[in-house]
Amino acid sequence: MTGFRPKGMSFSRYIAVMGILFAAAAVLNLLDSAFSAFLPAGIRAGLSNIVIMTAILGINLPSAFLLTLLKALLVLVTRGFTAGVMSFCGGTAAFAVTALLFGKTKATYILVSVFGAIFHSLGQLAAAAVLLETASVFAYFALLSVSSVITGICTGAALKAVMPGVLKIISKK
């Protein structure tokens, strides 16, 4: 587990924190599925991305990517192969751009979150384009970019609101 657990954090605390974060991601993912019934075709609110962003800011990049992989695995098990592959590609793209913006710039929470949401959509569409061997899936991008901006603003605000509490849990001795 070298590289995953931050220095100074006990092993048991690390396992507990990661367990809580993954459980939160799983529940938010379930909420996403519930909400998607009321949204236009293919749109999900992306609430579980809040957890990944929390881990990027509060723990470290390897742990955040591990959560991204676990989330894709959960989707693979609960919603099937296609959804799992698309979650992995969308999640990885969102993770990369979020990590870059949080690590290297002073971009605001909302801006980072909107970029993350848009790259999540792009990653998913790229996966769909490869699976289908056609680029016509990008016809969905206009709709997805609008929904990404809206959900990005919401998740960015939520992230800013929960971050102090999460940091307290993570760094408590």
Partner 1 sequence: MKNNTGERKLFRLQDIIPIVIMLAVPIVYFLAASGKDGAYAEISRDGEVIAAVPLDSDGVYSYPQTGEMEFTVSGGGITVSKSDCPDKICMETGKLCRAGDTAVCVPNRVVVTVYGESGGDVDGVVR
157 forms part of the interface with partner 1 (CB under 8 A): yes
Cα-Cα-Cα-Cα dihedral of 7, 170, 46, 106, to 10°? -70
Compare residues 28 and 166 and give the one whose CB is closer to partner 1: 166
Distance CA 21, CA 35 (A): 21
Binding residues among 113-132 for partner 1 as defined by CB under 8 A: 114-115, 118, 128, 131-132
Residue 120's closest CA among 94, 81, 147?
A: 94
Q: How many residues does the chain have?
A: 173
Distance CA 149, CA 112 (A): 11
108 forms part of the interface with partner 1 (CB under 8 A): yes
CA distances from 69 to 83, 89, 169 (A): 13, 10, 23
The least distance separating partner 1 from the CB of residue 102, rounded to whole angstroms, comes to 7
Compare residues 19 and 80 and give the one whose CB is closer to partner 1: 80
77 forms part of the interface with partner 1 (CB under 8 A): no
Binding residues among 135-154 for partner 1 as defined by CB under 8 A: 135-142, 145-146, 148-149
Residue numbers of the site for partner 1 (CB under 8 A)?
40-42, 56-58, 60, 79-83, 86, 102-103, 106-111, 114-115, 118, 128, 131-142, 145-146, 148-149, 156-157, 160, 163, 167, 171
